[in-house]
Structure 1
Amino acid sequence: MTPLFEDEHLLVLEKPSGLLSVPGRGPDKQDCLSARVQARYPEALVVHRLDQDTSGLLLMARGIEAQRRLSRLFETRQVHKRYLAVVSGQPLQTQAQVQADAQGWRCIDGPILLDWERRPIHIIHPDGKPSRSRWRALQSTEAATLLELEPVTGRTHQLRVHLQSIGHPMLGDSLYAPAEIRALSPRLMLHAQELAFPHPFTEAPMAFSSPMAWTASPPGCAPPQSRTAPPSPCP
C-alpha cells in the first residue's frame, strides 16, 4: 500500500471501495488497509476509519505520540473532510424548506443510534448521539443527484444514515438503500475526496484531494473511474 503522502509523523492513504479499514472478526476479514500499511510501516497506527464500501482518503499516524496528536485534532474538529456521493432523487426539491447558506450548504441534524437487533445498521433515534451533516448539490437529473458532503460530527455510517433519513439513500448502498436503488451501482457511491488538517507537530496546513469522475446520470453513474489527476493539495 503506497501512501499518497508520508513524512516521519503521518501517512495519507487512499482506500479502495470493498477493503476494510481495520481487521474484522474471523480469518476471512484480516486483509485490510491497516494491515497492508503496517506490513511496510510497522509503526503505523489507526486514527480514523472509512466504511468498507467507502473509498477515499484516510490518515494514519506513525507512532504513539503522532496518534495522540492526530486523534486530538479529530476530537477538536480541526480535521476537515469532504465527500462526494450520488443519491437517489432530488434533495433540492424535497428539502427546499431547509435554508441554505451563501455557498448552498444545507444541514441534516439527526441523533444516530446503533440498532442492536439489526447491527451494524444505525438509525435516527432520540436516544442517539447528536449528529450533523452538511450537503450541497453539484448536479442533478430526474433520478439521482451528485452531492458534496461534510460530516460535522463523526458517527458510524453518519452520511449514509442522514441521507437515507431524508429519503435520498446512496446508490449502491447495501445497508440503507432499497433493492432498486442499490442495484443502480456496483458499489456504494461514497468517496472521501478531500482531507485537510494542521500538521500535528509543525501546525503547517496540510490539504489533500482525491478527485473522482462521477456524475448524477443514471443508471447511476457509471462505475467509478480512476483519479483524473494525481493527488494534489486542495485549492
Structure 2
Amino acid sequence: MHTDQTLIFDADDTLWENNVLFERVIDGFLDWVSTPAERDRTRTLLDGIEAANSAALGYGAAVFRQSLADCLRRLNDDRTPTPAEEARIEELLAPLTGRGIELIPGVADTLATLAGRHHLLLLTKGDLDEQQRKVTASTIDHHFQGVHIVAEKSAETYRRLTADLRLDPDRTWMIGNSPKSDIAPARQAGLRTVFIPHEHTWVLEHADLGPDEATLRLATFPELLRHF
C-alpha cells in the first residue's frame, strides 16, 4: 500500500445508490403499460429507446422521462401521450426527482480515511445541474479536491483530465462500478483501475472486461482501505 496517490471516484452506484431508483420507476411503468406476457418485450423496447436517447441527449431524469414517453408512444402506434398519461409518467417519476441521496454502506467512513492518505477527485457524467445537486446533497463532497461533471466518459475524457491536472498515470486510479464508463476507457487512457461491481448497474453500462488482470476487483467499497 502506497500513500499520496490520486484516486478518482465515480459517483452514481459507486458512492450512492442511483440505478435501483430508476429500476423501480421502470417496474411501475411496465406494470402500467404492459401485460405480464409482453413485459420482457416492452422492457427490450424501452432499453433500445434509452440507448438511443442517451446517445443523442445525454443522461439524467429529464432524458429518462423522454424515454418513458417515447416508449408509451411506440406502444400506441405513435400516438402522442394524453395529458392524463403524461401526468401518470410524472407520478411514477416523483420518487426519483424528489429524492435525497442514499450513500452506499461504508462510503462515508472509507472516504474520510482515504482523504488523509491520498488526493481524491470525483468524476461523474450526466446533466450538470442534476449531478451537482446530488454531489452537494451527498454531504461527502468536502473530501474531494476536485469535482468534475462531464457529458460522457471516454478515453479522451480521462486523457484530458490527466493532462489538465498533470496527473501521473502510474499513480492515478479510476474507481467505479461501470465497466463501460469507468474501467475500460480509463485503462485505454493509461490509468490504473479499481472495479467495484454493483448489482443494479444500468444495463447500458455493462461491458465485457475480459481477462483484465491489471484491474483491481473488490467486492465492497470499504475494501479500498486494504489497498490504499
Q: TM-score, normalised by structure 2?
A: 0.29
Which structure is higher in RCO with an 8 Å CA cutoff and minimum separation 6?
2
Structure showing greater Rg: 2
Q: TM-score, normalised by structure 1?
A: 0.28
Per residue, is there more strand in 1 or in 2? 1
Per residue, is there more helix in 1 or in 2? 2
